[in-house]
Amino acid sequence: MKRRSTATKISYQGEPGAFSEQAARSFFGKRCVTVARESFREIFDDVSAGKSVYAMVPIENSLHGSVPQNYDLLWKHRLFIVGELKLRISMNLLALPGTKLKNLAAVYSHPQALGQCERFLTSLKGVEINPFYDTAGAAKMIAMEGRSDAAAVASSQAAADYGLAILRAGIENDHRNFTRFLVVAKKESHPRRRPKTSVIFATKNVPGALFKCLSAFALRNINLLKIESRPLVGAPWEYLFYVDIEGDARSEECVNALAHLRELTSSYRFLGSYETGNIVHP
């Protein structure tokens, strides 16, 4: 996918200074117009309604795993994945200037961020760890309320945006911490290089169903990059499978593999072909 230089509206979950906003600016450039939303559902709705051209969607973190809600939203909305980016995530403990670590009573951040920093946070004795809807949102709350006894786990950009000091930098459990983001749009893309393709499907309730579905790729020597299962809402004990494969859906081997897969599934959704994302260090 060719990155655009003109101003483009991108919705993301969180407040200004969130990692999703950093991902949007890294992918589209500084001239893009970012639209902050409180929930993931809202960013998908923005694109579906044409309020934004794209949504920047975190889908998995290298330390804390997947973002399950966004797999469900990919299934629910008839949108396409058109790009990918892997953002290096550096977590920081932010507080009002002058706040001392020993004076903290509470820390706030998004549950994913708290999980990525669990080792450091558990070392803070007597400090209450509180989930919040967003990393940058937690920083904004502490700044607006003047909380001298609290801190947020967020980006260095959030510290700059809300006038907070960095009490501790790089507090993630492992510095090889990356979040994979997907760029979602109403129209599908056609990757020029390093293509990958994503689909979601449900299997028939017969022995060996998943094995047969995956054999559609194995028989054609197509590399399976990822598989993730999610409960199928409204059908207890049945599951959806999200799969990433190497290749462009327009290639002969992928065309044949996906046609074979559709014959074996009870439900199927093509999510798009797109360029494999680079690792970005903001």
179 is catalytic: yes
- DSSP letter, residue 77: S
Catalytically annotated residue among 27, 28, 181, 201: 181
Catalytically annotated residue among 8, 99, 135, 179: 179
The secondary structure of 97-165 as a DSSP string is TT--GGG--EEEE-HHHHHHTHHHHTTSTTPEEEE-S-HHHHHHHHHHHT-TTEEEEE-HHHHHHHT-E
In contact, 55 and 43? CB cutoff 8 Å: yes
* Identity of the residue numbered 155: S
Structure tokens at 146: 């003047």
- Strand, coil or helix: what is 90? coil
Q: How far is CA 100 from the centre of its chain?
A: 33
- Rounded to whole angstroms, the Cα distance separating 83 from 274 reads 5
In contact, 159 and 91? CB cutoff 8 Å: no
Return the bridge partners of 34, or none. 10
181 is catalytic: yes
Range 221-226, long-range pairs (CB < 8 A, 24+ positions): 221/253, 222/246, 222/247, 222/253, 222/254, 222/257, 223/247, 225/196
Which residues are catalytically annotated? 179, 181
